[in-house]
Amino acid sequence: MSYLNLPRISFSGLFEADVNTVNNDVRNYDATVFEPRLQTAQITVGDHTEYNGWWNPAGSNRFSLIGCAVTGAVGPKGEAASGDEVLTLRLEAQFDRTAGKIVDLDPQFQFASALWGLRIGLMAGDKVLMRGSFYPGSFRDLFFSRLFDQATNQPVSGSPSASARFTGALYDIAWDESAEASPILSALKASAAANQGQLMLSLITYGYSKSGGTQEFLSGSVIGCIGPWLAGEPLSFAPGRRFAISAASPNAPFASAQNIGYLTGLVTNEGQGLSLDLGVALPLLLADGPGGDGAIHTVDLGPITIAVARQGDTLTNTPTGLSVTPGVTEGQALTPDQYEVISVLTAYDMAWMQANGGVADFAVPAAAQALIGDHPLLLLTAAPTPPGQIVAIRETFGGLWTRADDFVQRLDSAPTGWVSSAFKVWAMLWGQPWANAPLTLSVQPRATGQGGTDDPDEVKPPQTYIPDNNVPAATISLPATATAGADGTVQVTYWAANPGNPRGYIDGQIYQLNYSPTVAGQSPMPMVEVVAVHVRDAYVPPPVPSWDTDVKPVLTQYGNLYPIMSRGLFSLSDFDAASANARLLHLAFTLPPTDPNFMPATRDISAGKLRMIVDWLRSYLPHGAPSGYGAIPPLPVGQPLPPALSGAAPAQHPTQITPALATAAVEALGPGNDGKTAAVRGFLKNAARAGDGG
């Protein structure tokens, strides 16, 4: 299943993410109070911060790979790729096109940064042996406080401590005929040919930090894999066996008590093989300070035993529904008679991680094969009293888990009536499709304070309010329950009406839709494992758009948020400049969103407003220039809401973090106030309030 299957190639190197930070703060969208200083970098005023445009206001949202090379490969039957030409190749991005873009869904939902327009290639010198486009994918399994400072033994503050995974299908793949000389590439080519021409890419980022003495966070390290994508599988994650943290972990919601994050495995060859992706799960150490080398290493947890528990979990039907009881739990001390060993990892340093992209393959001994089909997988570390071992993290209770594909959505509403969209949920039971799985669905309750600095002592904050999210609840509707089919999947259709501009100075509204198995005692899901939807305000283009009342407000806001436009090209709020560059703007606004040159980079503008801008630009196009709307979709047409849907009332969700743990997690984040840290802190505070009934 996906890149966890074989054949597989691994790579490592660096990445650059020149993110724009003016739009990290939702208040900067209010053009009526916007000041020029909000396009300048933050400064320290005494003991406090004047955030202005935060730490990288001139960011272009460019995403690049730097110095990436193939570091390992495994053949279709698990054989090492010794001597294969693939081991000499570079992995490059955008070698023949504009750099890809990395953007958030919205300043009030920054937990799913997406890569748009990314194209990668495997290079031998100047020859491209394979190239493919990355399905626009948002990161998941965000792991804050993964990186510890050796000098202080405390998590590094802010985003440099975080790690995340981008997973997505590669499509539009092209091969050079010389690729056939590599057995690994030949096998990948055959896999793609048998599966709609697609492969899958997993890309893990860590150590995103300041570089070269500049003032911006720009670069970090990356490891990853390219492997099969099988027809019918998700486009944004790998199905299989899921490890989850305990709800009582002091490192919740990101990691277990031993600081191991969520991970996924795959049982192969009828139980004879196991592949585990540890790339975003193992804790990291910044070896800085006295005696340190300034590099990032994996934390030495001692030998890690990969095992399967002899005691199974119990899934029972009760008068109120399904309930799961684990046979073993995280933190429990086990003796050797309570598990069967699959393998023991004794060397898992950073060189090991880079060589295999974080994915380790194991042969499963016969005794473990007898259990692995329906007993929980475990990672064990040494207990204080030998010969026992501690459960550092385990598979989800009952082997149950669910995950949505297309979990980040942008939806245009209609002036009247309702429009629909859908997301697909996979339900798994011990890594296999969970037929007839029951799901609970809901809309998250009102959320406050998202998209600001979360700093009560900030100097000269923008003089406007921070809008609430998930309101009005009456304009979004989805079923309260759903049931998977025989293949373990269910297509959930939800409906949205015009939200009516509830956020005022920023278009539309952000809604977060919860989903989980309808099972008591289930394992927690990752903190932001939701479907995030930007429902855009309904907009009908006027017959003759006006610069002052229609076009200028939209372009001015975009120009405010992206000072690189006015500094490097021209001012979008200037009539003469916009009209003189009508042809360039027409091209950018009518490109497919998957094109790296699409405008706006945030992909947050409705089809109606795009058409309005294009209508205005058309009158300034020279004779013979391209006309039409290009890739802009048609305007939505509202429909009646199905009678069965009356709106899902916001409710506490089964996987929600407790108020006490949310409060502890806020403290563990430290004082950093870069965009992601502030967003996570705000999310956790809302979780604590919701858990208290607030």
Is residue 346 within 8 A of residue 234, CB to CB? The reply is: no
Helices (H), 262-328: none
Is residue 110 within 8 A of residue 102, CB to CB? The reply is: no
Instruction: Give residue-wise pLDDT tens across range 170-204.
Output: 999 999 999 999 999 999 999 999 999 999 999 99
Confidence at 385, pLDDT banded by 50, 70, 90: confident
pLDDT score recorded for residue 44: 93
pLDDT score recorded for residue 159: 83
Q: Tell me the helices (H) and strands (E) count for the chain, helix number first.
A: 10, 40
Confidence at 158, pLDDT banded by 50, 70, 90: confident
- Report percent pLDDT > 70 for the chain: 95
pLDDT score recorded for residue 35: 96
The H-or-E segment that residue 382 falls in is strand 377-382
- Cα separation of 606 and 627, whole Å? 19
- Cα separation of 421 and 110, whole Å? 21
Place of tokens 């975080």: 162
Those residues with Cβ within 8 angstroms of residue 108's Cβ, 6 or more apart along the chain or in another chain = 26, 450, 451, 467, 469, 510
Mean pLDDT of 589-604: 93
The overall average pLDDT reported for the chain is: 92
Structure-block tokens of residue 645: 């849907």
Of the segments 94-98, 208-212, 597-601, which one has the largest average pLDDT value? 597-601
pLDDT of 280 over the 80 cut: yes
- Cα separation of 414 and 637, whole Å? 6
**What is the rounded radius of gyration, in angstroms, for the C-alpha atoms of the chain?**
25
Strand order in the sheet with 154-155: 154-155, 147-149, 284-287, 295-298
Structure-block tokens of residue 113: 């940064």
Instruction: Give residue-wise pLDDT tens across range 5-18.
Output: 999 999 999 999 99
The H-or-E segment that residue 675 falls in is helix 675-691
Mean pLDDT of 34-47: 94
Q: What is the pTM of this model?
A: 0.95
pLDDT of 216 over the 60 cut: no
What is the CB neighbour count within 10 angstroms for residue 131?
19
Those residues with Cβ within 8 angstroms of residue 619's Cβ, 6 or more apart along the chain or in another chain = none
Per-residue DSSP letters for 609-622?
A: HHHHHHHHHHTTSP
Is residue 132 within 8 A of residue 173, CB to CB? The reply is: yes
Per-residue exposure over 388-402, b if at least 16 CB sit within 10 Å of its own CB, e if not: ebbbbbbbbbbbbbb
Label the pairing between strands 476-477 and 489-497.
antiparallel
Structure-block tokens of residue 241: 């066996």
Those residues with Cβ within 8 angstroms of residue 377's Cβ, 6 or more apart along the chain or in another chain = 241, 243, 265, 274, 306, 307, 308, 309, 394, 395
Prior bond to 160 cis, omega within 30?
A: no
Structure-block tokens of residue 273: 């093989």
pLDDT of 80 over the 90 cut: no
pLDDT score recorded for residue 692: 47
Is residue 244 within 8 A of residue 525, CB to CB? The reply is: yes
Least confident residue range of 225-239, 390-404, 530-544, 662-676: 662-676
Determine whether 612 is exposed, middle or buried from the number of CB atoms within 10 Å of its CB (0-12, 13-18, 19+).
buried
Structure-block tokens of residue 87: 């081991």
| Closest by Cα among 591, 440, 601 to 513 | 440
pLDDT score recorded for residue 644: 81
Confidence at 82, pLDDT banded by 50, 70, 90: confident
Strand order in the sheet with 321-325: 314-318, 321-325, 519-520
List the end-to-end C-alpha distance of the chain, in Å, as a whole number: 42
Is residue 51 within 8 A of residue 27, CB to CB? The reply is: no
Q: What are phi and psi of 568, to 5 degrees?
A: -100, -25
HSE value, Cβ hemisphere, 13 Å, CA-based, for 293: 4
- Cα separation of 502 and 480, whole Å? 24
Cα angle, residue 426 at apex, residues 435 and 248 outer, rounded to 5°: 100
3-state SS class at 569: coil
- Report percent pLDDT > 90 for the chain: 78
